[in-house]
Structure 1
Amino acid sequence: MSETNGAGTSAVHSHVFLGEAHQTSERKTWAVIWLCTAMMVAEIVGGWLFGSIALIADGLHMSTHAGALLLAALAYTYARRYANDTRFTFGTGKLGDLAGFTSAIILAMIALLIGYESVSRLFEPVPIHFAEAIPIACFGLVINLASAWLLSGGHHHDHGHSHGHGHGPAHTEHDHDESQRIATADGSVVLEVFEDGVPPRFRLHAETGAPLVASAASIETVRPDGTRQVFALIDRGDYLESVDDIPEPHAFDANVSINGQGYPVTFEEHEHAHGAAVRDNNMRAAVIHVIADAAVSVLVIVGLVLARAFGWLWMDPLAGIIGAFVIASWSFGLIRDTGAILLDMNPDRRMADNLRRAIESEGDQLADLHLWRLGPGHLGAIVSVVTPTQRGEAYYRSKMARFRALSHLTIEVRQAAHASAGGSSGSLLAV
């Protein structure tokens, strides 16, 4: 067994599988904690000086808010500091998912407490001090909105570029290959392979200059084995689209013909991770916590205003019950997603299917495949191939190089029984 980091072979390779925005997210979380702590101290001190028990109560509530975010911040810090600790076989990339799972449990408990208290108040109403309660609820909403803005500003939870650590890049962008910009005599045009929720097709549009005419444009692909295919284009309004789907893999030279002039371009396919495979669940849990708090604040404000205006005291506990259901729903989704990662469920079925097609495209058989998440944008895979040929690990490693999110790959190659007089044989390669 040998190991490689993508650039060459070495005895040891890195197991740092943190998301690209890890340190940025860590700084944001600590900033929100300091904001909440400052507001907590101000409310408790102010409540004590001015004799407002409601202000003190909201300050104590803010302390639980800061405590929940502290879990996320410590997870970021710990994962970063111990990312190279050899005790963690596959790095610390999953620590954020563990923190997210724990936060989801805490959110579920909060939902139960809010629901229980709200139902109790429906049957046993308590006096409401509207003059203090409404301003404090509005103040809490402002703090929660500011916290949500600090946490989510500039951060995309489901996509974005994620650069690899140790094993080469792990790009996790949207679901089409890189665009090719072509300079023509009439202006610049852009060609891309588009497959966002649809079968992969070429899309061609004018970036500058006159619009393209479908009858005057076509695309011919030339694959490494010499296979050629011509794609006719149809007008879709803002762009031209190929009539036929593009077969896998999407690695080929293409000659784009526009008004009788040919323009050569080259596509090198990079398979991207999708959805749950790239999401930062630690940041997601922190954002859900502050948004849930903000949602409850909005419901409380509405309930208090209606209760004060019309005497509907039942509106306040009703708002609490609705808020409890909303928080419980978000908590369930977070528990489901983080639990799946902690149990090493397949995080990207689409990539698993594409891996199988890539391996079996030339008559080999994928005997076994394990695909799991190591951290945001980083996947691990164990691949077992049965082949009637004498192909080795290097062949399959190069074939799977386009799966850029595979940050840790172990390959086993076995000869088919009929291909070897001595029976099957196998070897392993970890990358």
Structure 2
Amino acid sequence: MSHDHHHHSHHHAPHTGQDSQRRLLWAILLTGGFMVAEVVGGILSGSLALLADAGHMLTDTAALTLAWFAARISRRPADDKRSFGYHRVQILAAFVNGLTLIAIVAWILIEAIRRLLSPMEVMGSTMLAIAGLGLLVNVAVFAILHFGDRDNLNIRGAALHVLGDLLGSVAAIVAALVILATGWMPIDPLLSVLVAMLILRSAWRLTRESGHILLEGAPDDLDAATLRREIPEQLEAVCNVHHVHVWSLTPGRHLVSLHAAIDEGEDRQATLVAIRSLLVERYGLHHATIQLESRHHCADEPVSGETHDDAPPRP
């Protein structure tokens, strides 16, 4: 006969949501404000390059607003419909931001090829002035976001958008200086391709990480096979661990559920406490659902577990 025993252990990381929200709001105000300045500058100088960059800044302002909205929503308490709360909204926003960045890279590459095939006249001095101002704004916004919560994928996604703009401003300054000195127009699209490649690398990593969490993937430093093998090794009372699932709610906030088989003679409560302590101290797993099962022939149980997590334990 098998006895079931469930145990839930809850742990909540300290709230950094308020700080993230404040940083994102400043980033939105600065980026949005400069976007308006770029539109005015572009219209006054007749510069298509500046108007195109203002379009890029518009997508960034939208991305930052999405990140701010996600940070705000994620602080709402858990309810009966969403028992884990709204923390995953931040991961969803990071995923969308990653995909948006990849789309922006594709647009930059297409535009660069078009300009290399038919070079356009660029007003170097106006471009230099606006790009210089843009660099100052982007450095300020990037600093605001960069020194925020490092584990927050949402903040990282927003910072990547701004880093793309910052690199774009540096490239625009270099291109403007080259154009003013030599009149060689292809430098503008060539440097934009270089910036696009740098953005793509970071965007792909962000999309992959957030996608992995949304798919309930195991954390990089932990997997089900490790727990199946190591818990029986560490605790004499436990002879077999199976039905192990490890996943993350957000980066740094991992959860686990598992079944542990123990011999009839073992103290169930003491074993439960021992498993929970091991999960917290060795693996940093503060939220655990543990089901204990009695086994008459515990010594015969395979320690390595099943070939698949959902396979039933041996009778």
Q: Sort the Cα spacing of 1:418 and 1:59 in 2 relative to 1 into closer, same or farther, 3 A.
A: closer
2:93 is matched with which residue? 99
Kept in 2, the 8 Å contact 1:387–1:415? The answer is yes
Aligned match of 2:19 in 19, 24, 36? 24
The CA deviation string for residues 39-97 of structure 1, in whole angstroms up to 9 with x for no partner, is: 3334445666xx2344655544433221110010000111113x323211322222111
Matches within 5 A, 1:242-321: 279-321=151-193
Kept in 2, the 8 Å contact 1:32–1:147? The answer is yes
Kept in 1, the 8 Å contact 2:7–2:290? The answer is no
Shift of 1:367: 1.9
2:287 is matched with which residue? 408
Moved more, 367-376 or 23-32: 367-376
Equivalenced residue count is: 286
Kept in 1, the 8 Å contact 2:119–2:185? The answer is yes
Larger Rg: 1
Amino acid at match of 1:360: E
Q: What is the DSSP-based 3-state SS (H/G/I as helix, E as strand, rest coil) of the residue aligned with 1:299?
A: helix
Greater fraction helix: 2
2:195 is matched with which residue? 323
RMSD: 2.6
Q: What is the DSSP-based 3-state SS (H/G/I as helix, E as strand, rest coil) of the residue aligned with 1:114?
A: helix
Amino acid at match of 1:395: T
Kept in 1, the 8 Å contact 2:228–2:240? The answer is no
Shift of 1:139: 1.5
Amino acid at match of 1:380: L
2:121 is matched with which residue? 127
Question: TM (normalized to structure 1)?
Answer: 0.60
Amino acid at match of 2:45: S
Matches within 5 A, 1:372-383: 372-383=247-258
Amino acid at match of 2:262: T
Task: Name structure 1 gaps, 5 residues minimum.
Answer: 7-15, 158-278, 421-431
1:114 is matched with which residue? 108
Aligned match of 2:273 in 393, 397, 407? 397
Aligned match of 1:52 in 45, 48, 63? 45
Q: 1:85 and 2:79 equivalent?
A: yes
1:205 is matched with which residue? none
2:241 is matched with which residue? 366
1:62 is matched with which residue? 57
Kept in 1, the 8 Å contact 2:78–2:85? The answer is yes
Shift of 1:300: 2.4
Kept in 1, the 8 Å contact 2:20–2:149? The answer is no
The CA deviation string for residues 213-262 of structure 1, in whole angstroms up to 9 with x for no partner, is: xxxxxxxxxxxxxxxxxxxxxxxxxxxxxxxxxxxxxxxxxxxxxxxxxx
2:216 is matched with which residue? 344
Matches within 5 A, 1:185-200: none
Shift of 1:407: 3.7
Task: Name structure 2 gaps, 5 residues minimum.
Answer: 300-315
Q: 1:143 and 2:137 equivalent?
A: yes
Amino acid at match of 1:418: H
Kept in 1, the 8 Å contact 2:38–2:130? The answer is no
Shift of 1:137: 1.4
Kept in 2, the 8 Å contact 1:18–1:375? The answer is no
Amino acid at match of 1:108: I
CA distance in 2, matches of 1:316, 1:47: 17
Question: TM (normalized to structure 2)?
Answer: 0.81
Amino acid at match of 1:90: F
The CA deviation string for residues 383-428 of structure 1, in whole angstroms up to 9 with x for no partner, is: 11122343425523333325444342111222234259xxxxxxxx
